[in-house]
Amino acid sequence: MFRQKNKQTANKSIASPAFRFRWSLRLKKRKSEKRSVKKSNYLVYFFLYFAISIIRVYLVIYLPVYLLNILNVDRSQLAFIQVFIYLVMFSGPILGYFFDRYSKNKKLIIFSSSILFLASFLLSVLSGRNLGVLGLFLAINLLSQEIVKVGILKMIIDLPSSGSVKDSKIVAISVSLNIGSFIPSVLFLFAVNDISNVNQWNSFFFIGFLASLPIILSAALLKEKTNKPEKKFEQCERDITSLGGKNTLNFILLFLSYLLIWSDNLYKYPFSSWILTRFGKEGFNLYSLLYIVLIFLNIGGWIIGQRISKKENRSIDNIKSKIHNKLDLTIDNQAEALYAFKLSNRKKIIAITVGLYAVLTFLMAVSDFLFLMIIQGIIHLVSGVMMLNYTSLMMTISNNGKYKTFKYQCLKIAIALSFVILIPLGTFFSAFIQIETLFITAGFLALLSLIPLKLLRVKLNN
């Protein structure tokens, strides 16, 4: 009797206008706090990836020219050092597992790693012909970069959101990466008038270091979300993924396809050096300037991919209602059918873009400078669409169980493997094999990525 009376009193208090008013204020406060955290973190993500992209372009485009054409380092020794440098990229799954298990101090870890990231870059480019010291600091730079990226990725994966919303976040990061990428191209035009002047190159590298300093402030302003994420779509997607039949086989097949699509690493390192050798200083300066255009085309590709993703999610919503209303399936089989439909759409987009990418890579081998730049522009556009769908597909398949970040990083090991194998091979072979041969080889490897992609499927239970 006493309990029933208390229950009635509680129900009356809950139904009272004053209670509902206080509760609505509390909900509004929580929502505004969530929005403020998201907005501030979006700015933080932008500047973090902005700085990372500046350093990345220095290391991918300009450091190879500095080492191979200006300092004339031994390519065989450099290839040997590269193997050990890129082994650091295998740390992704370990870092993913670490952040999944111990994620309380993400902000401190990211902040410390951002300082290490900047310091190691400056020390690596100033090490000159000492390839051992260069390799050590480049390895530290890659490791600290991986820590920052995995920590941010953990924060994004933990946020509950639909597939299209996650695609939007992926695009936002890609845009910040690409916007920062054209900064070194502009700096190079003003800082290096005499391409053979080592002092000008050192000044150019130091200016890049200064331009990347916002990464430290951004990491300090990072806000962690304290409340537990809601389930909703994220839990639903985990359920769909776990019901997706041969999920382990899909995981392996996607890994193989993703590995082969990074075949461009075979020619990437000597590419800028080859442009300088074949088309001269004017050609290299024009390529450096046009790199800005290539970056914006890549951004356009990611945005196009996002639009396609939104359209796909609308189609999935329609399929959901049809499955629910018209098909005589169990709940588990409904989930598998949706999962299969989602994989099928992603696979179709990836297959089309990979085919275009391979054909364009073959054409690079027989191109003059103008045609080469046009092909590069189309490749960057197509790659944006392709990589968005690969990334989204990887998140879908890895978003199952406790260690989501760990599983996603295991898939991304494919990038590390391609760096460790293909970049040193490309650097080594470029000493006595024409780079046009490397273009053709990369095109064939890209086509081979379609085989495991084709085998990626989900079978419905009877």
Helix (H) or strand (E) holding 285: helix 265-326
Domain count, the chain: 1
Asked whether residue 26 carries a pLDDT value surpassing 60, the answer given is no
pLDDT in the model for residue 342: 65
Average pLDDT of span 168-185: 73
Mean pLDDT of 123-131: 83
The pLDDT confidence band at residue 361, using thresholds 50, 70 and 90, is very high
Instruction: Look at residue 429 and tell me if it is in a domain.
Output: yes
In a domain, 5, yes or no: no
Q: Which CATH number goes with the domain that contains 270?
A: 1.20.1250.20
Answer with the residue of higher pLDDT: 301 or 456.
301
Q: Is there a domain that residue 208 lies in?
A: yes
Helix (H) or strand (E) holding 52: helix 17-57
How high is the pLDDT of residue 42?
A: 64
Q: pLDDT of 314-336, one tens digit each? A: 655 555 555 455 444 444 455 55
Examine residue 4 and state whether it is found in any structural domain, yes or no.
no
pLDDT in tens, 368-389: 899 999 999 999 999 988 988 8
Q: Which residue has the tokens 């065989």?
A: 76
Q: Closest Cα partner for 388 from 267, 284, 303?
A: 303
In this predicted structure, the answer to whether residue 313 has a pLDDT above a threshold of 50 is: yes
Q: Is residue 31 part of a domain?
A: no
pLDDT at 374: 93
Range of the domain at 395: 38-455
pLDDT in tens, 47-76: 788 888 888 888 888 888 888 888 888 888
Characterize 112-151 residue by residue with b for buried, 16 or more Cβ atoms within 10 angstroms of its Cβ, and e for exposed.
ebbebbbebbbbbbebeeebeebbbbbbbbbbbbbbbbbb
Q: Which of 262, 251, 272, 255 is nearest to 420 (CA)?
A: 262
Per-residue model confidence as pLDDT tens digits over 390-435? 888 887 777 665 677 788 888 888 888 888 889 889 988 988 889 9
**Which has the minimum average pLDDT: 91-105, 167-181, 277-291, 327-341?**
327-341
Q: Confirm whether 173 is domain-assigned.
A: yes
Predicted local confidence at residue 229, as pLDDT: 42
